[in-house]
Amino acid sequence: MYEIFQKYLEEKAEFSQAESERIQSFAIIKKLRKRQYLLQEGDVWKYDAFITQGCVRTYTVDEKGSEHVNSFSIENWWTGDRESLMMQQPSRFNIDAIEDTELVLFTHENFESLCREIAAFNNMVNIILQRSFISAQNRIQASLTLTAEEKYLNFINKYPGFASRIPQTMIASYLGMTPETLSRIRKQTAKK
Amino acid sequence: MYEIFQKYLEEKAEFSQAESERIQSFAIIKKLRKRQYLLQEGDVWKYDAFITQGCVRTYTVDEKGSEHVNSFSIENWWTGDRESLMMQQPSRFNIDAIEDTELVLFTHENFESLCREIAAFNNMVNIILQRSFISAQNRIQASLTLTAEEKYLNFINKYPGFASRIPQTMIASYLGMTPETLSRIRKQTAKK
DNA sequence: TAAAACTCTTGATCTATATCAAGTTTTTAC
DNA sequence: GTAAAAACTTGATATAGATCAAGAGTTTTA
């Protein structure tokens, strides 16, 4: 499934034949079965990971054992724990597959080499990071200003298609509400 | 007050004399009086802005007229609206000074030139962005998992010194609670 | 330096959402 | 294909935090 990543690269920037080959030479293909972990709390995350197929969730588990979903990532997105990666510290997060998933991994050293060697690659990564930051900001803003119902409507509007792939319990957790509340909101909004 | 920025640069990376001068040649010094706007909702943000002195807040105003504080930035931090800057679209945010404030501004074109010309500068910017992203993630995580009291304790622990410079109303808004709730929490935690 | 305008506190009451509990439907796994 | 497990729904009740209101400090401004 490397072709999907190849296509993504071509869309984002122009790479020479040699550069493309260099990038591919570092790629590690990884497959995850549904429920399988990509990262477990306590482990240090060491990759930059691109999803070519499937869907994963990033979440924490609190002292009471409840899970709090931090993010979902699907094909053509990146996943991982930047904090653990950058600080080389054990992760507070778990990442596991919601569906059977295929990824392209780069060890961080290799990834950094690519950034250093290939200006277009570095630039691409930078733009992705800026986009990620912007969407994190928007999520914060939404959590501060919206009611539970508005959060849900905002979510399905922003990520159409997610609702049909991801269990409601996880979506509720992502939105910071209980599954019961989400169920009631869906019932209400269906009426309208 | 350019020296403060100069010192910041020296701490973050190594720049040659020529590079330092190049950076400085683009710097615009700006002073804000307390309450003065740096950015108003509807305007397009065009700078990269570093605070050498003082404190600003970034916030939105909803239909009911309530303010929602998205972030505080103090000396040795950056501020601005990345989304407006990147997408060249009108900002949803206001940024104004909580104290008399001094900044170093770069127009985004100049800033991008510096990134292109000076690898160490580009690298520095990249690291800052990664850090910002990480702290946005942590804020999301906190908003999903913590109670009002925990959010406040987490805040004063993470940003000691902020509580004494910033009005409680604004801190409450930043934490996603009412000023009354924050006042009661402070009373309770003071007892312990 | 006094009045106006904020900011913070405290109390009483309200409400959005959580929690608990049970039943139904859907998915998983042998 | 069927039993077990998981996911979703619905109702009853609880609660953290919001809202409203009013008084006490503090800061701003003229």
Contact B71, B155 (CB under 8 A): no
**pLDDT over 90 (residue B23):** yes
Which residues of chain B neighbour A145 with C-beta distances below 8 Å? 60, 62, 68
Which chain B residue's Cα is nearest to A86?
B130
- A125 and A98 belong to one structural domain: yes
pLDDT at residue number B64: 83
Same domain, A19 and A80: yes
B85–chain A nearest CA distance, Å: 11
Q: Are the beta carbons of B79 and B38 closer than 8 angstroms?
A: yes
- Per-residue pLDDT reduced to its tens digit, A152-166: 999 999 999 899 999
Minimum-distance CB partner of A136 among B62, B69, B140: B140
> Does A72 have pLDDT greater than 90?
yes
Q: How far apart are CA A151 and CA A138, in angstroms?
A: 12
Q: Are residues B131 and B192 in the same domain?
A: no
Q: Are residues B39 and B14 in the same domain?
A: yes
CB proximity A82 to B under 8 Å:
yes
A136 falls within a domain: no
Nearest-Cα distance to chain A for B175, in Å, is: 8
**Claim to verify: residue B29 and residue B83 sit in the same structural domain:** yes
Residue B28 and residue B71 in one domain = yes
What is the pLDDT, as a whole number, of residue B1? 81
The 10s digit of each residue's pLDDT in B65-99 is 899 999 999 999 999 999 999 999 999 999 999 99
Please state, as a whole number, how many other Cβ atoms lie within 10 Å of the Cβ of residue B149: 16
A83 contact residues in B (CB cutoff 8 A):
134, 137-138
Does residue A139 fall inside a structural domain? no
Query: From the alpha carbon of B150, which nucleotide's C1' atom is closest?
Result: D16
Please report, in angstroms and rounded to a whole number, the separation of the first and last CA atoms in chain A.
Answer: 42
Range of the domain at B158: 146-192
pLDDT tier at A1 (50, 70, 90 boundaries)? Answer: confident
Q: Taking CB atoms and an 8 Å cutoff, what residues of chain A touch B92? A: 141
Share of chain B above pLDDT 90, in %: 93
The nucleotide lying nearest B177 (C-alpha to C1') is D17
**Cα–Cα distance between A72 and A166 in angstroms, integer?**
9
**Residue B191, pLDDT score:** 64
Average pLDDT over chain A reads 95
- Residues 74-103 of A near strand C (Cβ < 7 Å)? none
Count the helices and strands in chain B (H runs, E runs): 9, 8
Percent of chain A with pLDDT over 70: 99
Q: What is the pLDDT of residue B53?
A: 94
Q: Is B126 on the interface with A (CB under 8 A)?
A: yes
| Domain count across chain A | 2
B121 and B36 both lie in a single domain: yes
**Total CB pairs under 8 A between chain A and B:** 77
Suggest the residue from B111, B122, B140, B151 to mutate for an interface test with chain A (most A CBs closer than 10 A). B140
* Spatial contact of A110 and A26, defined as CB atoms under 8 Å apart: yes
Model confidence pLDDT, tens digit, residues B146-180: 999 999 999 999 999 899 999 999 999 999 999 99
| B54's tokens | 């003082």
| A44: DSSP letter | P
User: Strands, DSSP E only, in chain B?
Assistant: 28-32, 37-39, 47-53, 55-61, 67-74, 78-79, 94-97, 101-107
Integer Cα distance of B70 and B86 in angstroms:
18
A98 & A162 share domain: no
**Token couple for A37:** 């972990």
pLDDT of amino acid B190: 77
Q: Are B91 and B43 in contact (CB under 8 A)?
A: yes
The answer to whether A34 CB sits below 7 Å from nucleic acid chain C is yes
Alpha carbon distance A120, A180 (integer Å): 47
H, E, C per residue of B141-168: HHHHHCCHHHHHHHHHHHCCCHHHHCCH
- Both A177 and A121 in one domain: the answer is no
pLDDT digits (tens, 9 = 90+) for B108-129: 999 999 999 999 999 999 999 9
Q: What is the pLDDT of residue B192?
A: 54
Residues A169 and A124 in one domain: no
Collect all residues with Cβ–Cβ distance below 8 Å to A160 and sequence separation of at least 6: none
Distance, Å, A167 CA → C4 C1': 56
> What's the CA B172/C1' C4 distance, rounded, in angstroms?
25
